[in-house]
Amino acid sequence: MGKTRKTPSIIDKPMNFCPGCGHGIIIRLICEVLEELGQDNNVIFPIGVGCSSNLGGGLVADRFHCSHGRAAAVASGMKAVSPENIIVSYQGDGDAYSIGIAETINAAYRNENITVVTVNNTNFGMTGGQMSWTTMPKQKTTTSQLGRDCDKTGYPMKFPELVASQFNIAYAARGSVHSPASINKTKSYIKKAIESQMNNEGYSVVEVMSPCPVNWNMTPVEAMDRIKNELIDYFELGEFKQREVIK
Amino acid sequence: MGEMWKGNHAIAEAAVRAGCRLYAGYPITPSTEIMEYLSARLPEVGGSFIQAESELAGINMIIGGAACGYRSLTASSGPGISLKQEGMSVLADEELSAVVINVVRYGNGLGTLYSAQCDYHRETKGGGNGDYRVIVLCPSSIQEAIEHVFLAYDLAEKYRMVAMIMTEGALGQMMEPIEMPDFIEKKRMPWALDGHYSYKKIGIFDRNSMKEAIDLNQKYNTIKENEQRWESDNLDKADYVFVSYGLPGESTKGAVEQLRDEGYQVGFIRPITAWPYPEKAFNLINPNVKGIITVESNATGQMVDDAALSIKKTKRDKNVPTYCLPYVYGIPAIKEIKKDFMKILSGEIKEVY
């Protein structure tokens, strides 16, 4: 007999994601973790602009729709006045790493005691699949129609590695949702991130590789295969900054 | 006689005493002393201070504090307030209360360090994208600026919106003897995010934007009706009424006093709220008034538009000329205002409207 998986109580209705999208899985994981840690009635989500905005429509939880890219700054202000709440920003790669890179990186720089979850689907999904700072070399998007030329547009950004190597933060990891095993692993990363916040250890970030079949012009299965066969060679999965063991 | 305080420090201490729990901002002359003071002072009273990476991040941190229902503050000048417009539009949209201070300095782009009133249009007409207003208080003394900190928070919370204190570089830098009010205790606003989902929210894509916009406009109309503030004198007898706010407003009062001693029938209005504009003061003006004269510390003449519209609205059957004396920056001297008044009388300075 397999385990019964109960829908977390703060999820109250279906969200508006495209078929085969990974957002739903990631939001579910966050909610399961919050419930398991007893924080599902003590959480505020500053939400990014883009597909991540859909989180607001499906949860019975406090959240705030931030302007594009600013969620980490809003989260910093929330945590400053309300340290008893768990603050989880939920953002896409375009929101967090392109328009919001200043706010995202400076929250890590200050080691704010917040948790940042970024959904990396290698493009701007909501606006119809434009190139983002995580678009892969030669990847075709509506603004890199011949395939991304990284010599002219930059190479895909590895944010968790960047902040883990440069700043004094609590936890950084990258997960994926392309297989049951990767989903379970990602859940354990999100759990460690939120535990580190509960323990006042500082900034935690979990990036999650997520399929975007509509904008990748793929079937959902092909999109999952792309993550497995192409993306995780470049965007390596794992923990880049481990929590210090507290004795 | 009270203690001598520098304007920016006095505003900062007033915010602490008014129960401010969070300051976030970025240094810029001539407002920086506010954040310097609060960097040390707020932690002493259990508040938080965040030195932000930009004014944009600063206002977004204030959004976080305001969304959680605590009194939050940011301050800046000129181009720094430009960067905050995105966040002020968000605060308007989400109907959150916060106080923003603009210690105005003159100029476009990076601008200058001169004390001025060049940001009048931006602050009183909304400033960011969209269809909103901000309550704008304009003190003319340090004591009044202190009172405005308390008033700004009260109005911001009563109407759930941004209240701005539009002070001036010189007012921030100068010193005056003042009386500092006592501390007040503020709890989390009852409507705030507390992590417990105490108030139901709808999804971002489920909002009724038509209803929200109409309700918001209704709120602004209520504020226009109830919150106009001004100081005035001799309006019922005046042939000419001067209109000026802030430090130029004080010079104008001095000029009006001297002109009356010299036998001229003049009066003045000193707007204390720049938005809502004190239209009601114009109701008190002599029906046979010959002209309205704004005295402004900018080059283009900005408040003159609101003065002209107000006299049109309150004296519909008359075509009262409205003049503008724009002194670009600084604080005009009484003798300059008097000299230019003579040019209006002689016809050398023409009306704007």
Q: What is the DSSP string of B211-249?
A: HHHHHHHHHHHHHHHH---EEEESTTT-SEEEE--HHHH
Cβ-nearest to B60 among A54, A57, A74: A74
DSSP sequence for A101-122: HHHHHHHHHTT-S-EEEEEE-S
* B205/A contact by beta carbon, under 8 A: yes
Chain B within 8 Å of A227 (Cβ-Cβ)? no
- Looking at residue B201, its pLDDT comes to 77
What average pLDDT is seen over chain B? 97
Tens-digit pLDDT profile for residues A48-82 = 999 999 888 889 999 999 999 999 999 999 999 99
Binning pLDDT at 50, 70 and 90, where does residue A1 land?
low
| Alpha helices (runs of H) in chain B, residue ranges in sequence order | 7-17, 32-44, 55-67, 78-94, 120-124, 142-159, 169-173, 209-226, 246-261, 279-283, 303-314, 334-346
pLDDT for position A91: 98
Q: Do A70 and B205 touch (CB under 8 A)?
A: no
Q: Is residue A35 part of a domain?
A: no
C-beta atoms of A103 and B94 within 8 A: no
Any A CB within 8 A of B193 CB:
yes
- Whether A187 has a pLDDT exceeding 80, the answer reads yes
Q: Residue B252 in 3-state DSSP?
A: helix
Q: Residue A219 carries which DSSP code?
A: -
Which residues pair with residue B323 across a beta bridge? Answer: B293
B201:A62 CB<8 A = yes
Residues A48, A73 contacting (CB under 8 angstroms): no
Q: How far apart are CA B282 and CA B287, in angstroms?
A: 10
Q: Cβ distance A143 to A105 under 8 Å?
A: no
Residue A67 sits in a domain of what CATH number?
Answer: 3.40.50.970
**A54, A80, A84 ranked by CB distance to B50: nearest:** A80
Residue A143 lies in a domain: yes
Per the prediction, chain A carries an average pLDDT of 96
Asked if B203 and B230 count as a contact pair (C-beta separation under 8 A), the reply is no
Average pLDDT over residues B320-337: 98
Residue-wise pLDDT for A5-46, tens only, equals 789 999 988 888 999 999 999 999 999 999 999 999 999 999
- Domains of chain B listed by start with CATH number: 3-226 (3.40.50.970), 231-346 (3.40.50.920)
**Is residue A101 assigned to a domain?**
yes
Would you state the structure tokens that stand for residue A42, as one six-digit string? 């003590």
- Asked if A37 is an interface residue toward chain B (Cβ–Cβ < 8 A), one would say no
Query: Which residues are A124's β-sheet partners?
Result: A130
Q: Determine the Cα–Cα distance for residues B112 and B301; give it in Å rounded to an integer.
A: 18
Any chain B CB within 8 A of the CB of A83? no
A129 lies in some domain: yes
Q: Decide if A137 is inside a domain.
A: yes
pTM: 0.96
User: How distant is the Cα of B204 from the closest Cα of chain A, in angstroms?
Assistant: 6
Distance CA B201, CA A61 (A): 8
Per-residue confidence (pLDDT) for residue B179, from 0 to 100: 97
List chain A residues with CB under 8 Å of B58. Answer: 73
A88 touches B: beta carbon within 8 Å: no
Here the tokens at position B217 are 């406009």
Whether B205 has a pLDDT exceeding 80, the answer reads no
CA B294/CA B182 separation, integer angstroms: 36
B193 vs A54, A62, A106: nearest CB: A62
Range of weakest confidence among B158-167, B197-206, B238-247, B255-264: B197-206
| Yes or no, beta carbons of A41 and B22 under 8 Å apart | no
Percent of chain B with pLDDT over 70: 100
Residue A244: what pLDDT? 79
- Check B61 against A86: CB less than 8 A apart: no
Q: Is residue A2 part of a domain?
A: no
* pLDDT at position A246: 58
Of the candidates A54, A61, A77, the beta carbon closest to that of B24 is on A77
Distance CA A116, CA A118 (A): 6
Q: Is the pLDDT of residue B79 over 70?
A: yes
Interchain proximity B64–A79, CB inside 8 Å? yes
| pLDDT at residue A245 in the model | 65
Question: Is the residue at A22 inside a domain?
Answer: no
Among candidates B313, B251, B247, which has minimal Cα distance to B278?
A: B313
List for chain A the helix, strand, coil content (%; round to 5). 40, 20, 45
pLDDT for A31:
97
A195 vs A36: CA distance, rounded Å: 11
Averaged pLDDT, B79-83: 97
Structural domain count, chain A: 1
**Domain residues for A178?**
42-207+214-241
Given CA atoms A72, A73, A75, A80 in this order, what sign does their dihedral have?
positive
